[in-house]
């Protein structure tokens, strides 16, 4: 039974095989699927939840690869369509021994950016319990922004729990002012907000997790929970109806790739909420999946199965 929905831009990522070389010097790459929202759908499916992914790819080898990989992952691809009028977006990523990798995107006017509000008409929310939304898709184009708003309005009208990951991508916006104004406006329409601490500082002008949370809780009657992601330190959680709390992060032996950690956080949170776990338990799982993600190459290769999650909990003393 499909219980989870997300909309986004699927991408192919070509990851350098050579370590610590500038991208222009790399000769060999390994191909993976990527895209923040697709990462989340893959993670949910890996934990046993039926995820519906709404998007569009080009009728090209990269698009076919994405659809094949999504099918293999167990994602509902009935709303993942192909078009002849645009190509599938992709990017190349550096392989580094430490720090964040260099990336170069090739996604302008991608197939996903051309999804229209008309495409939302075919979406049924009858069995959807949670919808994952992010700040990336509405940044792709004016069309994508309107499509995002149409879907968000439909989800709220149908009483679906909406989770909004701010996911800032400055390069996709006209300027920082437009990005801040639009993302904060979109956040008003979701019930749970997931800003990172660095994103929160850009969006609210404060680096205090509690002040970031207060900003989003006060700007909308709809928003009832804000979870500020603090990286290795864990997460700060505040709701309108209970005392705020911290969840500590998990220590990892080696960070291989930080890309996909934030999406892994959403995977952990939303999968636990779908299973009826408490908010505290859900944030603990969010931190756990994020920690697993950074220990693996590829944007979503580190997301666990239920058995792998149980093993991680046992190793880290989580009851």
Q: Which of 41-45, 91-95, 152-156, 259-263 has the lowest mean pLDDT?
A: 259-263
pLDDT above 80 for 298: no
Tell me whether residue 108 is in a domain.
no
Domain that holds residue 134: 2-102+117-315
Mean pLDDT, the chain, rounded, equals: 94
Tell me whether residue 194 is in a domain.
yes
Tell me whether residue 218 is in a domain.
yes
Using only C-alpha atoms, what is the Rg of the chain?
A: 18
pLDDT above 70 for 76: yes
- In total, how many domains does the chain have? 1
Distance set, CA 190 to CA 82, 134, 186, 312 (Å): 29, 10, 8, 31
Q: What percentage of residues in the chain have a pLDDT greater than 90? A: 88
What mean pLDDT do residues 51-80 have?
97
Which pLDDT does position 28 carry in this prediction?
Answer: 98
Which pLDDT does position 101 carry in this prediction?
Answer: 84
pLDDT per position as a tens digit, 129-168: 999 999 999 999 999 999 999 999 999 999 999 999 999 9
Q: Which of 165, 257, 263, 299 is catalytic?
A: 263
What mean pLDDT do residues 225-254 have?
94
Confidence band, pLDDT 50/70/90 cuts, at residue 297 = low
Which tokens go with 64? Answer: 């076919």
User: Is 126 one of the annotated active-site residues of the chain?
Assistant: no
Q: Specify whether the CB–CB gap between 37 and 8 falls below 8 A.
A: yes
Phi, psi of 259 (to 5 degrees): -65, 130
Q: What CATH number should be reported for the domain holding residue 166?
A: 3.40.1190.20
Tell me whether residue 58 is in a domain.
yes
Which pLDDT does position 153 carry in this prediction?
Answer: 97
Confidence band, pLDDT 50/70/90 cuts, at residue 97 = confident
**Furthest CA-CA distance within the chain:** 54
pLDDT per position as a tens digit, 190-205: 999 999 999 999 999 9
**Half-sphere exposure of 203 toward its Cβ, with a 13 Å CA cutoff?**
32
Which pLDDT does position 302 carry in this prediction?
Answer: 86
Which pLDDT does position 257 carry in this prediction?
Answer: 67
């Amino acid at each position: 039974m499909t219980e989870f929905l997300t909309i986004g831009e699927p991408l192919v990522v070509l990851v350098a095989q050579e370590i610590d070389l500038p991208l222009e010097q790399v000769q060999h790459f390994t191909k993976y699927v990527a895209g923040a929202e697709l990462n989340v759908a893959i993670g949910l499916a890996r934990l046993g939840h039926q995820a519906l992914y709404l998007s569009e790819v080009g009728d090209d080898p990269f698009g076919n690869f994405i659809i094949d990989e999504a099918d293999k992952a167990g994602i509902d691809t009935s709303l993942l369509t192909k078009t002849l009028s645009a190509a599938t977006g992709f990017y190349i990523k550096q392989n580094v021994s430490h720090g964040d990798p260099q990336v170069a995107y090739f996604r302008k006017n991608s197939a996903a950016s051309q999804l229209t509000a008309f495409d939302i008409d075919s979406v049924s929310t009858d069995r959807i319990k949670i919808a994952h939304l992010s700040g990336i898709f509405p940044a792709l184009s004016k069309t994508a922004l309107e499509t995002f708003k149409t879907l968000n309005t439909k989800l709220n009208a149908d009483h679906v729990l909406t989770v909004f990951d701010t996911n800032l991508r400055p390069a996709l916006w006209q300027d920082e002012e437009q990005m801040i104004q639009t993302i904060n406006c979109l956040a008003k329409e979701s019930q749970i907000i997931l800003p990172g601490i660095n994103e929160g500082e850009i969006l609210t002008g404060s680096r205090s997790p509690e002040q970031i949370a207060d900003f989003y809780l006060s700007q909308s009657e709809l928003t009832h929970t804000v979870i500020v992601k603090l990286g290795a330190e864990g997460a700060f959680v505040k709701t309108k109806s209970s005392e705020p709390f911290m969840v500590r992060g998990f220590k990892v032996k080696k960070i291989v790739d930080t890309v996909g950690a934030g999406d892994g956080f959403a995977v952990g949170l939303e999968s636990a909420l779908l299973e009826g776990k408490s908010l505290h338990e859900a944030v603990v799982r969010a931190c756990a999946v994020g920690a697993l993600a950074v220990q693996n190459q590829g944007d979503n290769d580190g997301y666990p199965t239920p058995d792998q999650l149980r093993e991680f909990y046992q190793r880290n003393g989580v009851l």
